[in-house]
Structure 1
Amino acid sequence: MIKLSEGGAYLVDGSEIIEVNEGIEAVKGKLGSRFVEKEEALKSTIAYNILKDHNTSDNMDKLQIKFDKLTSHDITFVGIIQTARASGLEKFPIPYVLTNCHNSLCAVGGTINEDDHMFGLSCAKKYGGIYVPPHQAVIHQFAREMLAGGGKMILGSDSHTRYGALGTMAMGEGGPELVKQLLSQTYDINRPEVIAIYMTGTPAKGVGPQDVALAIIGAVFANGYVNNKVMEFVGPGVANLSADFRIGVDVMTTETTCLSSIWRTDDKIKDFFDIHGRSEDFKELNPGAVTYYDGVVYVELDKIKPMIAMPFHPSNTYTIDEVNANLKDILADVEKKALVSLDGQVEYSLMDKIVDGKLYVEQGIIAGCAGGGFENICAAADILKGKSIGCDEFTLSVYPASTPIYMELFKNGKAADLLATGAILKTAFCGPCFGAGDTPANNAFSIRHSTRNFPNREGSKLQNGQISSVALMDARSIAATAANKGFLTSAMDMDFELTGPTYHFDKSIYENRVFDSKGVADPNAEIHFGPNIKDWPKMVALTDNLVIKVVSEIHDPVTTTDELIPSGETSSYRSNPLGLAEFTLSRKDPAYVGRAKEVQAAEKAREEGKCMGEVLPELKDVMHTIKETYSDVSKENTGVGSTIYAVKPGDGSAREQAASCQKVLGGWANIAKSYATKRYRSNLINWGMLPFIFEDDNLPFANGDYIFIPEVANAVKEKKSEIKAFVVKPGEGLKEFTLKLGEMTDDEREIILKGCLINYNNKSI
């Protein structure tokens, strides 16, 4: 089904794979006169050539990328524009689309969400952008329909910014990286490795894109096989997939922790652009005749079966058949994982979901950028036609990804077929993906064709004793389960016929409602500020020395951005840095905010020239202990702040607030064994936080300890990769250990030294 190569490989004529672990002489023997050295053959990947076209440096190993277009939604664009405004923004230099698909319900915080929408519209007018009103389209569907183009690059402030199936290399990053593009700066990365996703065969009836995606995620997540690399989809199997099917697989590549994705394109993708009235944006893309890849994921499409990702991660995958055959064992394993994921904060059991020997689920959701596509919904309607979802606990909600899709479902009768079963059809909205819509009942089990199933992602609150579960599945098997009134069912076990209706895109829907400045800014336009839209607080530069207190210690294998700053209703406060910060780690470590604020109060006293020890008495002994060895340490040259330790933080969303909330509460650093994603580490740096690494499992410090880092500013300036640090033990002295800083660009070091990206760009600071 899925197999991984042990090393690099050559792809010949787009069809034959020759792995280099066979030995270079064997490779030369098979290629003969066509043999090309690795360094030259890697230049034939689709990814390399797109990156080359967008690289502004003269070094393809050290990329400085400028993107063609930008996208953001309504829980990120306010902070991005506010940061850019503070840094001197005058006009959007490239097309920037502001969609409103996350805080669409306006259900929390009074006028907060709609105030953000009006802010977005006014900024699109003032700076020359595009504004997509609520319920028109989810961010990624609008980008597919209206922005993507062959050989282009798009940067979005949402982690699922993936349009590779359409020939566009797209990346999801934290807001500060979009700010850099708005200020005509560059996205600086080392040239990523490229992994071939080599597809063969044709999916079986009942198998959908989510099944293929989950099979790949299950094979590559834990071992980091594609981490921060580009996934390039090639092989004869690609031609057997429709455009919608490819899109459905592609959007889920984010859950592998890859950097980006790209696919070979063909007539089916050309048809997609033709349908959407953008034929000129199609470009045929293929790897070269002899192309080198840094690894290969073999995907036998014909052998993939309907899949399910059990709680609490998209990589916790099984076939549905496996779950039904080993129900008690697998549910017991999920309960065991819950002890880690939920920290024992609530009682959690799944055994009551076994009814008459089958798994009963209370909710089905087909939604968003992954599930809300035209083909997915039509397939679900075909499976459910003439049936009923029943009148018990099970419910089914379907969210088309855009109003044009919604309209076509009405025109072709699929909407009526779904509604007749008892399902509910809703507008384009991302809420079910992050806990702001269709929150299940306590202890309920939800199956979803959406992107993530992290703890609390469905909207439950551990601090209130609430917990429910989400498993990821394809729309086809969700429909099959709905047809069986909530009992888990593989679509391959159903008798149905797919009608495969043709899609017709009605562009007038957007022409009638979407504001498009056509790139023309109106400097006289007034920005509308709601009372919750606040400026970023002042942030000071890095001091010569640093004293940081560990205020949270997390030992989960992976810590998601949802745990660092919860989603759901908290999203309404993302326009208010200090207001949102009150929710930091609230579901993982509720004491964090109070601890961080105690240390921050001492730092504020230092900045005002006052005595820190009077604000935080424990600092008196800490500073006294430090001065016994470092007598020149003073409040003038030594900053005080907080840090968290997590084994592997940053999986999941691109949200910059996972870092910025720590910063506005006085955070100076993170310490981690490693960072789950490049985007989270970038967020730390852009908010002036040191991304320290400590690889040993035996920590020299614990929660509540103080760490002293002498000459930290010099270490950053001098590009030191290792930095001397001390655990401060009053009465015992200083206990030395070493922190690693990892590679940073010169600009990133300057951002750290200045205190944040805003300070870096504001020349008056």
Structure 2
Amino acid sequence: MIKLFDNGAYLLHGTELVEDNAEAGAVLASKLGSAPSKEEASKNTLAYGILAKHNTSDNMENLKIKFDKMTSHDITFVGIIQTARASGLKEFPIPYVLTNCHNSLCAVGGTINEDDHMFGLSCAKKYGGVYVPPHQAVIHQFAREMLAECGAMILGSDSHTRYGALGTMAIGEGGGELAKQLLCKTYDVAKPGVIAIYLDGEVQKGVGPQDVALAIIGATFGCGYVKNKVMEFVGPGVDKLSADFRIGIDVMTTETTCLSSIWKTDDKIKDWYDIHGRSEAYKEMNPGDVAYYDGVVYVDLSTVKPMIAMPFHPSNTYTIDELNANLMDILDDVEKRALVSLDGKVDFTLKDKVRDGKLYVEQGIIAGCAGGGYENICDAADILRGKSIGADEFTLSVYPASTPIYMQLAKNGVLADLIETGSIVKTAFCGPCFGAGDTPANNAFSIRHSTRNFPNREGSKIQNGQISSVALMDARSIAATAANKGYLTSATDLADIEYTHPKYFFDKAIYGRRVYNGVGKADPSVEIKFGPNIKDWPEMVPLTDNLLLKVASVIHDPVTTTDELIPSGETSSYRSNPLGLAEFTLSRKDPEYVGRAKAIQAVEKVREAGECMGKAFPEVKEVMHAIKEKFEDVCGSNTGVGSTIYAVKPGDGSAREQAASCQKVLGGWANIAKEYATKRYRSNLINWGMLPFVIDKDFDFDNDDYVFIPGIKDAVKNKTEVIKAYVVNKDFAEIELRLGELTDDERQIITDGCLINYYKYN
């Protein structure tokens, strides 16, 4: 059972909840002798204490955070360092770890990916960072093993930067926010709400962390219960979970759209740090005797059953039993969702996977920061030991999350047990999570213990008429399915399995031999190694007095993911090349977008050159003439021209800043949305000088509409709440746009044109 409280609640002594309702005062008085105020009790959450410790402002309502450490992988660190270099970077002011777990395969693009790695190594030497070579560890497992510490804060450029189970508050953001930290600036955010995730009871045998995570995601994502808030895990159920189990739940909190997460700590976490040779990083952490939370997600762990998240979102959840009992009805619902997610561009069905009333899958994957943990793999091996995955279409691949885990699996025989079944065990690599490895066959169905199952995220290309799809499951039920030779099976159906739970021994010697640690040893004389695909950011102009925006894409989907804004997988080799990557913008959702954006960007380039736009572009001449009839001071020198997209709720998913920067380098100047799915996507827009407009009333935008916004620069500077704009080609229909809360620095970044300009000009 999962219950969302309608109100906030007090947590007494870490165990008892008192909901904040009309009777709360009397209940608290009877139990405590007095009723503490919400304001004081809210300071007793773990989240408040950590945020207060890292806040550099004197105002806890508007935080200015400085992080202890940072981490990035090889499809983000090049752009981040390039941004910081352009803004005056001299050396890394805090430990900054550069992992290489995304662009690890170098076959695509020749040496392009390895060039990024050499860029990273040379920057670690020059600026004093840590460089983790390919196949050593996925970004988040290395951070858990070597960076996390109780009470610390870590900023990462990957959305699944979550180390709360280890007592570390971690946040995944776009590259601009990391560049700010490299330049000794702050992460500015309004004080987030804190939601208690109250765990009670004990999980059943065969239930794994992904099952608990998917149950929570299914209950909270759609209603936005924890959106942009901190999830704080408390309650007696926490004590019943191993460290690895907690980590497996924690990493998936990103899919709820929360800001971050934190857990109370205990002897199991102490043991985890002891095993990893970092005992000094542990301290016991508990909320105060009376802590107030802005909401509560009550989870009875004993009622959680093996789960499956069907295509195309981690929140599309069912119990496996429910799916098997209502197979055709649920598959029919998936088809309806596919019509929205895939825009009807390809025929999609999973009904052809039903054989003799059972659902057959072609692929299983246990991988990455969510699935590649030691306990997940050992439990999967216990289920599969002595069995065969069969000689039909079904395949199973296992990716341990780090070389130390891989080494221990080899030493204790688990590796051999898995290989004997026909499973393939590979090195630490994030590819299956974002479409750069193990792409299923056309029309194939994959079950994965990984983080996301967005459309085409597994690597198929809808633009080529290809489609495969992913459901998320726990490693245990994936192993049960493998033992059943590809027929979907819940791990709890296998009552005779004995889980051996072999002890873990961490040997960091492999890191000592291969990982470059230059913290505190910056060497300015080192020359950075640039490959031909590593390009500087193009010049970007400041915001003009007025704006003329041409709508280049209209997206009516309820939610638009960052994967749809800039695809993952095949684009990875171009992440260090802003203009090359931009060619893929919206390629799966709206293949005509790039052409439309470039067409209006050509007008802006003529304007910037001081030439007459109207001579080269008659259509724009007519539009500008119509505008001048109503706004006589408007001219080419004070009116920028660019593109915008309209989307209902853009930005769910990855932290990748390229979802915004690609629009920017193609001449994008704004997004118009009903709301933004995540803070991090909105922040990415701002850091690239793009206006994050929100429109309250529905307006029927069409591609190629012209939206004129007079006085936009003054509106940004003067904090104008409602900004009037006009759809020129629709009889100057008036619309009202809002920018929402912006810090003074964010307003300056937008007016300067981007974060790089902000540091250049100020």
| Alignment check: 8 A CA contact 1:34 1:290 kept | no
Residue 534 of structure 1 corresponds to 535
Residue 755 of structure 2 corresponds to 757
Residue 571 of structure 2 corresponds to 570
| Alignment check: 8 A CA contact 1:700 1:737 kept | no
When residues 146 and 69 of structure 1 are mapped into structure 2, their CA distance, relative to the original with a 3 A threshold, is same
Cα distance in 2 between the residues matched to 1:204 and 1:47: 30
Q: Secondary structure at the match of 1:543?
A: coil
Cα distance in 1 between the residues matched to 2:340 and 2:731: 35
User: CA deviation digits over 1:462-492, x for unaligned, max 9?
Assistant: 1100001100000000000000000000000
User: CA deviation digits over 1:78-107, x for unaligned, max 9?
Assistant: 000000000000000000000000000112
User: CA deviation digits over 1:532-580, x for unaligned, max 9?
Assistant: 1000000000000000000100000000000000000101101000000
Cα distance in 2 between the residues matched to 1:661 and 1:432: 24
Cα distance in 2 between the residues matched to 1:670 and 1:535: 24
1:317-336 matches, within 5 Å, as 317-336=317-336
Residue 624 of structure 2 corresponds to 623
Residue 682 of structure 2 corresponds to 681
In the TM superposition, residue 700 of structure 1 has moved relative to its aligned partner by 4.8
Residue 409 of structure 1 corresponds to 409
1:524-673 matches, within 5 Å, as 524-673=525-674
In the TM superposition, residue 32 of structure 1 has moved relative to its aligned partner by 3.9
Residue 195 of structure 1 corresponds to 195
Q: Secondary structure at the match of 1:707?
A: strand
Q: Secondary structure at the match of 1:387?
A: coil
Q: Secondary structure at the match of 2:600?
A: helix
Residue 421 of structure 1 corresponds to 421
Cα distance in 2 between the residues matched to 1:148 and 1:25: 39
Cα distance in 2 between the residues matched to 1:104 and 1:243: 28
Q: Secondary structure at the match of 2:732?
A: strand
Amino acid at match of 2:671: N
Cα distance in 1 between the residues matched to 2:430 and 2:193: 31
Cα distance in 2 between the residues matched to 1:580 and 1:612: 28
Residue 132 of structure 1 corresponds to 132
Cα distance in 2 between the residues matched to 1:247 and 1:537: 40
In the TM superposition, residue 31 of structure 1 has moved relative to its aligned partner by 3.3
Cα distance in 1 between the residues matched to 2:221 and 2:616: 45
Cα distance in 2 between the residues matched to 1:389 and 1:24: 56
Q: Are 1:284 and 2:272 matched, yes or no? A: no
Cα distance in 2 between the residues matched to 1:32 and 1:377: 46
Q: Secondary structure at the match of 1:393?
A: coil
Cα distance in 1 between the residues matched to 2:373 and 2:155: 22
Residue 171 of structure 1 corresponds to 171
Amino acid at match of 2:742: M
Q: Secondary structure at the match of 1:141?
A: helix
Q: Percent identity?
A: 77
Q: Secondary structure at the match of 1:365?
A: strand
User: CA deviation digits over 1:657-712, x for unaligned, max 9?
Assistant: 0000000000000000000000000000000000000122x315322100000000
Q: How many residues align?
A: 761
Unpaired stretches in structure 2, ≥5 consecutive residues: none
In the TM superposition, residue 716 of structure 1 has moved relative to its aligned partner by 0.3
User: CA deviation digits over 1:398-432, x for unaligned, max 9?
Assistant: 00000000000000000000000000000000000
Q: Secondary structure at the match of 1:21?
A: coil
Q: Aligned to 1:748, which of 724, 746, 749? A: 746
| Alignment check: 8 A CA contact 2:128 2:522 kept | yes
Cα distance in 1 between the residues matched to 2:203 and 2:700: 52
In the TM superposition, residue 22 of structure 1 has moved relative to its aligned partner by 4.5
Amino acid at match of 2:732: L
In the TM superposition, residue 617 of structure 1 has moved relative to its aligned partner by 2.3
Amino acid at match of 2:149: G
| Alignment check: 8 A CA contact 1:368 1:450 kept | yes
Q: Secondary structure at the match of 1:44?
A: coil
In the TM superposition, residue 34 of structure 1 has moved relative to its aligned partner by 4.3
Cα distance in 1 between the residues matched to 2:121 and 2:101: 14
| Alignment check: 8 A CA contact 1:688 1:756 kept | yes
Q: Secondary structure at the match of 1:613?
A: helix
Residue 726 of structure 2 corresponds to 726
In the TM superposition, residue 25 of structure 1 has moved relative to its aligned partner by 3.3
Amino acid at match of 1:276: H
Amino acid at match of 2:498: E
Cα distance in 2 between the residues matched to 1:34 and 1:379: 48
Q: Secondary structure at the match of 2:396?
A: strand
Amino acid at match of 1:650: G
Amino acid at match of 2:589: K
Q: Are 1:506 and 2:504 matched, yes or no? A: no
Cα distance in 1 between the residues matched to 2:725 and 2:532: 43
Q: Aligned to 2:734, which of 712, 733, 736? A: 736
Q: Secondary structure at the match of 1:512?
A: helix
Q: Secondary structure at the match of 1:588?
A: coil
| Alignment check: 8 A CA contact 2:443 2:467 kept | yes
Superposition CA RMSD, Å = 0.8
1:513-528 matches, within 5 Å, as 513-528=514-529
In the TM superposition, residue 733 of structure 1 has moved relative to its aligned partner by 4.2
Amino acid at match of 1:291: A
User: CA deviation digits over 1:421-474, x for unaligned, max 9?
Assistant: 000000000000000000000000000000000001100111100001100000
Q: Secondary structure at the match of 1:196?
A: strand
Cα distance in 2 between the residues matched to 1:642 and 1:88: 30
| Alignment check: 8 A CA contact 2:26 2:35 kept | no
Amino acid at match of 2:245: F
1:468-487 matches, within 5 Å, as 468-487=468-487
Cα distance in 2 between the residues matched to 1:615 and 1:113: 40
In the TM superposition, residue 33 of structure 1 has moved relative to its aligned partner by 1.7
User: CA deviation digits over 1:510-552, x for unaligned, max 9?
Assistant: 0000000132100000100000100000000000000000010
Q: Secondary structure at the match of 1:136?
A: coil
In the TM superposition, residue 265 of structure 1 has moved relative to its aligned partner by 0.1
Cα distance in 1 between the residues matched to 2:307 and 2:113: 36
